[in-house]
Structures are given as structure tokens and as C-alpha cells.
Amino acid sequence: MAADFSTFPPIFRCAGISRDSLPFKAPGQPYLSYFSLIMLILITLFNGYSVFLDGNWNVSDFIIAYIVSLSPRSGSPRVAPAR
């Protein structure tokens, strides 16, 4: 979601739409979306750092920390196509 919100300002500038013309304008945007995206990446990278410390290598911990957390969620809600 943070990546999506980060793309709104360039799209609006390209289309010539002012954010002031929108019915709601979130305070701190786009900077808060950039901050959120950077924090999400850092948390994901450092989530399982202890696996790489000397003597702590465990395959199941590595898979849970990195592979599972980066895989798409199969239980996420699906949006029905417009008819």
C-alpha cells in the first residue's frame, strides 16, 4: 500500500491534477508513504537477522523469516471484477 501511495503524486502532476482539488488530502503525504515503505523494507530485511549469527543457523527459522514473509498471502480478499 505504501508503494501505491508513493506513486500518486507523480501521477497527479503528470495529469495536471492538484491535490487540493481532492475531497480528502492526507496530511504528510507523500513523505509518510516514503517513510512507511522504507521502514517496511528495513523490518523485512532485519526480521530474521539472528539466523545469520554464529551458531544460530536454522533452516526453518530462515524460511519463516524471509521466504514466508515475502510470499503473497493466499488468504487475502479478492475483489470481484466489475461487470
Q: Where are the domains of the chain?
A: 2-70
Residues in the chain: 83
Structure confidence at residue 36 (pLDDT)? 86
**Alpha-helical runs (H) found in the chain:** 2-15, 31-46, 59-62, 69-70
Residue with cell 515503505: 37
In angstroms, what CA-CA distances link 23 with 9, 19, 20, 65, 69? Answer: 15, 9, 8, 40, 35
Percent of the chain with pLDDT over 70: 80
Structure confidence at residue 47 (pLDDT)? 82
Cβ-contact 66, 49 below 8 angstroms:
no
- With 60 as the cut, is the pLDDT of residue 60 above it? yes
